[in-house]
Amino acid sequence: MQQDDPQITLITPAAPIAARTHGGRAKCLQRLVRLDLPVPRTVALSFDAVHAIAAGDMPDLDALLALLGDSAPLCVRPSSEEPDWGGPRAILNIGMTEARRAALAPRIGEAAAARLYLRFVQAYAVDVARLDADIFDDVSDDPAEGLKEALAAYEDEAEEPFPQNPTVQLAEVLRSMARAWEGTTARLLRTAKGAPADAGLGLVVQEMVIGLGRGECGSGVMQLVDSATGARQITGRYLSQSQGRDALSGGADALYLERDPRGPSLEELAPEAFAQLKEYTALMRTRLRQEMQAEFTIENGRLYLLDGVRVARNARAAVGIAVALAQDGIIPREEALMRVEPRALNELLHRQVDPEAPRDVLARGIAASPGAASGRIVFTSSEAQASHARGEPCVLVRRETSSEDVRGMHAAVAVLTERGGMTSHAAVIGRGIGLPCVVGASEMRFQTGKRQLTAPDGRVLREGDEITVDGTNGEILMGRAPLLDAGEDDSFRVLMEWADETRDLAIRANADTPTDALVARNFKAQGIGLCRTEHMFFEEGRLRVMREMIFANSSTDRAAALERLLPMQREDFADLFRIMQGQPVCIRLFDPPLHEFLPSDRAGHRELAEALDLPLSQVTRRVEALGEYNPMLGMRGVRLGITVPEIYEMQVRAIFEATLLVAGEGVEIVPEIMIPLVSASREVELVKARVDAVAAAVRSETGQAFDFRLGVMVETPRAALRAGDIAPQVSFLSYGTNDLTQMTYGLSRDDAGRFMSEYVRQGVYPEDPFHSLDTDGVGELLSIGAERGRAAHPGLTLSICGEHGGNPESIAFCRTAGFDYVSCSPFRVPVARLAAAQHAV
Ligand code: PEP
Ligand code: MG
C-alpha cells in the first residue's frame, strides 16, 4: 500500500484523490492542502477500501498509522461522494488509552487528558460497541473520577476491558463506520436524498489537533454568510478547551467570532488567529467556488483547519449565495442558475412552517399547494366567508371542493380535503390563488355533517379549533405553528432576470381573475395561457342569472339571460387585457357541465324555486334531468358549445367587444380563444363558423377592425391523434394535460388520490402522473399531436396548460418536444422560469 496504493492515500497536493473514488470530504481536504492551509495530516480511504472493510478485509493499519505519525490521537470522518448523502457520525480521539493519557498529562494537564480519554470511551461505547448511552448517565463531572466510572461501566456492559491497543481501536472504528453505511436505514436515508443505492463511502483519518491544554486552545466553526438569508455576515462560534463542533452547543461559554455587543469574541481573545481564519475562509470561497464553513482548532494560539464543508442553507440563502458568487466573478451566471433547485423557490414564495419549530402532526395528505397557514376550522364556504368578514383566519375543511366553494376558498387561509389528488378542484384552485392546500387526507375521518374531524390517533377536532395546514409537506399540524415569512429579495429578482436571459421557452400563467393576472404579471409571466371562464359565473350576482339561463325554456328566454351576462363578461375580459398590457391572453370557452351551477340539496332547490319563481317540483325535475352518471365525460366543453351555442356566442362577443373597448384605451391585444374538450375536427369546424360569424357581426356593428386567434385545447387522446385534421383550422393547440392524463390512463382526477400513494409505493407508477407528466404514455400522445399538427400547419403554436406546466421535469419534456410555451399557476411561474433556464444551459 503506502502512497502509491490508491485505496489508502496520504492527502498531499498530488495524491490521486477524486470525489468519485474517495468522496467529497477527502477531495475538499486535498483542495485545502493545495491552498497551503494548515490542515493536519490526513489519510483518505477509498470507497473500495471501505467496502472491503465492511466485508471483513482490513487493510494494513500499522502502515496507515505510520503515514500519520504515532504521536497524536486520531479522528475518522465519513466522506460520501455528495456531502448531502450523509454518513456515520465522526469519531474523535481514537488512540486514547491509559498509556497515552499518562503521556499527554504533562503537556495538556491531568484533567484535560482524562477528559479526552473519557470522551473517547463514551463515543466508542455507543457508536462502535453499540452499548446504550444511558450506562453513562451517572458518570461524575470530575474528569478523573468520571473516567474511572465510565471504564467500569464499559467493562461491565461489554464484558471485556476497554481496548488498549490503538490499532485495534482504529480497526473497530473503521469496521463499524463501514458497516453502518451498508445498513438498511442508512441506505434508505441516502436514497431519499437522491443517492444511488450502491453509493460508496470513503473515510478520512486525521491526526488530531487536540483543542485542550495550555495556552489558548479550543475549537469552532466559521462561515461568511447567514445560513437563513444568505446575507454576508461572519457566523459561527468558538469555545475554549473544546473539540469538534462543541462550540455550536457550547451555550453561554461559546464566544462570538467577530467583535459583538452581545458578548466576548474570538476577535478580542486571539486577534491574529481570527484574522487568519477570516482570510482562510474567504480563500476557500474563491478557490473552491463555494460558500464554505471552516471547522478549526486553535492549539496554544496556533490555528489549524480541520475540515471545510458547504455552508448549510435554506432556499433563500441558496439563491443569495449563488447570485453573490456570480456577481463576484467566482462562478459564471449559468452555474449560479444551475445551483438553485427550482422547486426550492416555493420556500421563498410562500410562508412556511419554521423548520426548527416542534411539529405536532395530526395527519398527512397530498401536498397540493405549497405554503403554510394557521386558522380555525370551518366546514362550509359560507362559514369561511363569515369568518373572513370577522377578520378571523380560517381553514376550510371539506370532503372535496367544487365550483361552489371558490368564494369560500378565497376567504380561507388554507384548505384541507379528504378526497382528491394533484389536479382535483381544491388543488388547482389552491395553487392558482397561492392558497396552502392539503388534499386526499383520507387517514383522517371527515364528519363534515357533525362538524368534526378525527385524527388517526383519535384526537377529535371541532369547528373553531385551530390547526395549521402545511401545503409544502402535506401535513396537518395541531394548533398554530410558528411560520416564516416569504423571502423574495433582491437576489431572487437578479436570479430570475438571469433565468429570463437564458431560457428559450416562454412561460405564461393560468389566471382566471384580475387578482391572478396581477400575480402573474408581477412574476413576469409572458401572458395568460389559460383563463378558465366558468369561474367568473360564480361571482356575486351572476350565479342567479346563470341559473336563469340554465332554466330557460326557450331560446328567447336564454338569450335574455345571456344578454345580462354579456356586459359582465366583457368587463371581466377587459380587466384581464388591461392588466396584461398587450401580452397574449388565451380565454377558454365555457367547459364544465351545467349541473355544477345548480344546488345539490333539497334546501338549495327550494331556495332556487323561490328565486326563479317556479314550483319546487319543476326545479327538482330539471336538476335531475341535468344530472349525469359520468359528468366529466358527458355534456361539457365543446359538446355544450355545439348543443347550446348561445353560451359560446355570448362569450366570444364579450371577448371581441372587450378587445375594442381596451383598444380605445390604448391597449393593443390579439385575444386567443380556445375550445375545450375537442375530440373531432367537425366540432372545430362548427364552432369556428360561429366564432367567425360573431366576429363579422361585431366588426360590422362597430365599423372597427380587430384580430383574434382561435385554438383547440387537446385534452382527449383522439384530439392528439387527429391533430393533423384539426390543426389546419386553428392557430394553436394547447394541451390540457390534466384531462389528457385522466383519459389516457382512464384514471379519475378526483378519486385517484385514494390509492395514488400506494401505487407509487409499489412502483406501479414512478410518480403521480397528475403531478409529473407521464412522458412514456401521455408524452407520446403529446409528441404525436405535435408532429401531426405541425406537419399539417407549419406555423402552429404549441403549448401546455395543464398543471404539469409548473413541473420542472415536465417542462424539460415540453422544451425538447419544441413547444412554444408552458402555462402554469401564477405562483409557479418563477419555478417554471428557472426550470426552463436550467434546461437551456
Ligand atoms: C386540463 O384538463 O389540463 C386543463 C387545463 O383544464 P381543467 O383543469 O380546467 O380541466
Ligand atoms: Mg380540462
For 359, 374, 441, 482, 559, the CA distances from 396, given in Å and listed in that order, are 21, 11, 13, 20, 37
Is it the case that residue 173 has pLDDT exceeding 80? yes
How far apart are alpha carbons 385 and 409 in whole angstroms?
Answer: 9
Is it the case that residue 2 has pLDDT exceeding 50? no
By most ligand atoms within 8 Å of CB, the mutation choice from 678, 739, 801, 828 for ligand 1 is: 739
pLDDT score of 491: 94
Beta bridge pairs of residue 711? 674, 732
3-state secondary structure 471-512: CCCCEEEECCCCEECCCCCHHHHHHHHHHHHHCCCEEEEECC
Contacts of 812 (CB under 8 A, 6+ apart): 835, 839
Question: Considering the chain, what is the average pLDDT of its residues?
Answer: 93
Q: Which of 425, 605, 804, 839 is catalytic?
A: 425
pLDDT score of 3: 42
Overall average pLDDT of the 604-618 stretch: 89
**Could you confirm whether 801 is annotated as catalytic?**
yes
800 CA from centroid of ligand 1 (Å): 10
Its pTM surpasses 0.95: no
Q: Please indicate if the annotation marks 588 as binding a ligand.
A: yes
How far apart are alpha carbons 824 and 285 in whole angstroms?
Answer: 37
Q: Which CATH architecture has domain 351-484?
A: 3-Layer(bba) Sandwich (3.50)
**Could you confirm whether 425 is annotated as catalytic?**
yes
Instruction: Indicate if the alpha-carbon torsion angle 647, 650, 656, 661 is positive or negative.
Output: negative
pLDDT score of 1: 41
How far apart are alpha carbons 455 and 364 in whole angstroms?
Answer: 10
Say if ligand 1 is within 6 A of residue 411 CB.
no
Cell numbers of 379, please? 366546514
Is it the case that residue 351 has pLDDT exceeding 60? yes
How far apart are alpha carbons 174 and 190 in whole angstroms?
Answer: 20
For 282, 351, 372, 375, 435, the CA distances from 480, given in Å and listed in that order, are 41, 13, 10, 7, 17
Say if CB 683 and CB 648 are below 8 A apart: no
Overall average pLDDT of the 158-176 stretch: 96
- The band of 113, judged by pLDDT with boundaries at 50, 70 and 90, is very high
Cell numbers of 175, please? 469496521
Q: Dump pLDDT digits (tens) for 773-795.
A: 999 999 999 999 999 999 999 99
588 CA from centroid of ligand 2 (Å): 10
Within 10 A of 635 (CB to CB), how many other CB atoms are there?
Answer: 15
Q: Which listed ligand is nearest to 737 at the C-alpha?
A: 1
By most ligand atoms within 8 Å of CB, the mutation choice from 402, 423, 588, 781 for ligand 1 is: 423
Length of the chain: 841
Q: Dump pLDDT digits (tens) for 48-73.
A: 999 999 999 999 998 899 999 777 89
Beta bridge pairs of residue 398? 417
Q: Which listed ligand is nearest to 742 at the C-alpha?
A: 1
- The band of 170, judged by pLDDT with boundaries at 50, 70 and 90, is very high
Domain covering 503-536+583-591+638-840 in this structure, CATH number: 3.20.20.60
User: Any idea which fold 2-207 has?
Assistant: Dna Ligase; domain 1 (3.30.1490)
pLDDT score of 4: 46
Q: Please indicate if the annotation marks 739 as binding a ligand.
A: yes
Instruction: Indicate if the alpha-carbon torsion angle 486, 491, 494, 496 is positive or negative.
Output: negative
Sorted by where each begins, the domain ranges of the chain are: 2-207, 218-313, 351-484, 503-536+583-591+638-840
Q: Please indicate if the annotation marks 621 as binding a ligand.
A: no
Percent of the chain with pLDDT over 90: 74
Task: Please tell me the residue having the least CA distance from ligand 1 atom 4.
Answer: 736
Say if CB 715 and CB 693 are below 8 A apart: no
Which is the closest atom of ligand 1 to the Cα of 591?
A: 9
Say if ligand 1 is within 6 A of residue 239 CB.
no
Q: Residues 218-313: name the CATH superfamily.
A: ATP-grasp fold, B domain (3.30.470.20)
Overall average pLDDT of the 493-499 stretch: 96
Beta bridge pairs of residue 709? 672
pLDDT score of 713: 98
Task: Please tell me the residue having the least CA distance from ligand 1 atom 3.
Answer: 736
Say if CB 292 and CB 285 are below 8 A apart: yes
Q: Please indicate if the annotation marks 715 as binding a ligand.
A: yes
- The band of 422, judged by pLDDT with boundaries at 50, 70 and 90, is confident
Q: Dump pLDDT digits (tens) for 633-651.
A: 999 999 999 999 999 999 9
Say if ligand 1 is within 6 A of residue 530 CB.
yes
Residue type, 44: A
Q: How far is CA 515 from the centre of its chain?
A: 24
For 180, 566, 581, 648, the CA distances from 656, given in Å and listed in that order, are 69, 11, 16, 12
Q: Please indicate if the annotation marks 237 as binding a ligand.
A: no
Residue type, 72: A
Overall average pLDDT of the 112-125 stretch: 95
How far apart are alpha carbons 503 and 500 in whole angstroms?
Answer: 6
Residues, CB within 5 angstroms of ligand 2 (ion)? 715, 736, 739
Say if CB 415 and CB 399 are below 8 A apart: no
Q: Dump pLDDT digits (tens) for 95-107.
A: 999 999 999 999 8
pLDDT score of 613: 87
Say if CB 278 and CB 225 are below 8 A apart: no
Task: Please tell me the residue having the least CA distance from ligand 1 atom 5.
Answer: 802
Is it the case that residue 5 has pLDDT exceeding 70? no
Q: Which listed ligand is nearest to 423 at the C-alpha?
A: 1
Q: Dump pLDDT digits (tens) for 16-57.
A: 999 999 999 999 999 999 999 999 999 999 999 999 999 999
**Residue given cell 381596451 in the structure block:** 662
